[in-house]
Chains A and B, each alone.
Chain A
């Protein structure tokens, strides 16, 4: 069975700095991996997905994620954080198993 883990409950970053939200996965075979974002009082919104191909996946709002098979990771990144990026971020995998979420706080 596949599982994903988000090791950080919360990530704090200053506006303009690069951000990374971590995700690791456990699966046999080739994984499908996703990132979703949830703003307050809203449902989850799809950001990007990795199915196969290039290890660097580009998504919405300037986010990207890097699939690293040797480290079984799929970290979400953005070169320059915005205050409006503050939200709850979920990593998800095959059969739509989700992590516990990571709160991202971007301070001005």
Chain B
């Protein structure tokens, strides 16, 4: 275990469903991230939260809605997804405050494998 826990590990949903992905870290980090991993494509940074404030939304469709109630928890709410949204969604955390300098090392969770039917 890396210290970043993601649930559920696997999720199958229809296009009209509403579901949520959860991420939890107890590393004392203050920055949390959502990435989308699709085969043979670069990891896509979706959202960044730094000290609970959203600091990056990388042109992500509104059918993905993040929530960060505190520095230890991060959610990704999903609704009316499309089949092309099927992917592995990775949560990561790092020391906060300096993420824009790009020097922070990320600790990743194992990911949530999402399949949209």
Among A34, A96, A98, chain B packs the most CB atoms within 10 A around the CB of A96
B66 within 8 A of A: no
Q: Which residues of the partner chain B approach A95 to less than 8 Å between Cβ atoms?
A: 45, 100, 102
With A43-B4, A43-B108, A43-B111 as known contacts, state yes or no: A32 contacts B101, CB within 8 Å.
yes
Interface range, B side = 20 to 34
Binds B, one of A11-19, A44-52, A77-85: A44-52
The answer to whether B102 touches A45, judged by C-beta atoms less than 8 angstroms apart, is no
Q: Which residues of the partner chain B approach A34 to less than 8 Å between Cβ atoms?
A: 105
With A99-B42, A100-B40 as known contacts, state yes or no: A44 contacts B108, CB within 8 Å.
yes
Name A's B-contacting residues (CB within 8 A).
Answer: 2, 9, 32, 34, 36, 41-46, 49, 51, 90, 93-101
